[in-house]
Structure 1
């Protein structure tokens, strides 16, 4: 009976932790390279922006859709439910807040008419398990001082020159760090502006990173596939 009680308490604590505190997510695509790679696993803080029907699925939200709601900060890496298909989770970086004017001009992010500082870095070499890729990399510094890396293969792509996006009240604007390979708020009909009540939480910790491989069930190969330099690192 003691063993059963211990197991039940452990299960209850795990459920509470996952429901109210942190939830694990795996990264399914390369839209957030170099910050997040396919095969990265992150803990997402479910209380960072307050609670809603997506962070607490069993809870009926108040009129405004959030409990203890807080506005994200520019530069946060956030998980949200896709407005067009709430069954899908997306992870992107918040770059625009309610009332902001966001635009891409010649590959450079512009917020409220001011170009965001972008400095070149050495190319990033990524081993995705099948081939090694060398990618053009920059450090981008947002108006609040948050600096993060982005990938920008070119400055004349389809989403490198846009009209001005005016972020509505109660919404944020999110973009992937891999600018040429991200379906994000720049695509209004596919993603668009993110309602605050669609935010699931903020990605805080990359607790594991594994080189992708089709034979995931070969557990004995996992130690050689772990990216130890990316494991147990804060998401920035």
Structure 2
């Protein structure tokens, strides 16, 4: 009888341990990190469709969009540190509530403009240096089965889709890769955007295939993003799959596992 009681008690303790572990993991995920799958090609080739990463929600402090409402019942944001130009950031779209991921380009008070496909920040050019060609197969990508846009025109199924790649240097010296598709795309020449206080300006690295702050919210773009809509910073790709299902192991990109986001 005593043996049976001990056995039952051991099962109960095991169940408790599992429940506590799940609760701790849930709290850890909610407070510190948020998983994010890359669904589109707007950040190529920094981020590819099918990349999986954890967003560092502690990077900029908390807002109602980066922690549970019950724990953060405020409308603003408590900043742990200011966002830095060049960070890759996940944020909530101010209108439709969708989570977006883009590169932070404009800080409050900055003047941003695109001229002939070149970025200008406060009147100073962010120079681009040629960095070869980004190539990929023209085929359906990810669960949404999107096909890439190609600079080399209409490419048949299974053909090689190319885009010109450059390394862009921001005013503070941070460098990142950008892709070009169109010679004179809609977002290649813009008016001057003056970023309001408490807001940020974001752009995708795949410059001709990104609905970002260059486009008004009324037209489906991102527009200026209020600070309280920031969720966190993307620091590292944890896992990556080129297929429509994560379990299709033959589509895994092992060279991207634990790859730093630059």
TM-score (norm 2): 0.83
Contact 1:129 1:211 in 2 (8 A): no
1:128 CA displacement: 6.1
Matched, 1:191 2:202: no
Matched, 1:118 2:128: yes
SS at match of 1:122: strand
2:67 aligns with one of 37, 50, 56: 56
1:170 aligns with one of 177, 186, 198: 198
Determine the C-alpha separation between the residues in 1 that align with 2:139 and 2:133: 19
Structure 1 runs of 4+ aligned residues shifted over 6 Å read none
Give a deviation string over 1:134-172, Cα, whole Å, max 9, x none.
Answer: 211010111111100010123411110000000000000
TM-score (norm 1): 0.92
Within a 5 Å distance, the mapping from 1:1-236 to structure 2 comes to 1-58=12-69, 59-62=71-74, 65-86=76-97, 88-127=98-137, 129-130=139-140, 131=158, 132-189=160-217, 190-213=221-244, 216=245, 219=247, 222-236=248-262
Q: Cα–Cα, structure 1 residues 148 and 140, in superposed 2: closer, same or farther, change >3 Å?
A: same
- Unaligned regions of 5+ residues in structure 2, if any? 1-11, 141-157
Contact 1:128 1:211 in 2 (8 A): no
What's the Cα RMSD here?
Answer: 1.5
1:67 CA displacement: 2.0
SS at match of 2:62: coil
Give a deviation string over 1:167-222, Cα, whole Å, max 9, x none.
Answer: 00000000000000000000023310010000010011100110133xx27x3xx2
Determine the C-alpha separation between the residues in 2 that align with 1:17 and 1:60: 15
Determine the C-alpha separation between the residues in 2 that align with 1:141 and 1:17: 35
Structure label with greater radius of gyration: 2
Contact 1:38 1:212 in 2 (8 A): no
Give a deviation string over 1:23-51, Cα, whole Å, max 9, x none.
Answer: 11000100000011111001100011110
Aligned length: 229
Contact 1:171 1:196 in 2 (8 A): yes
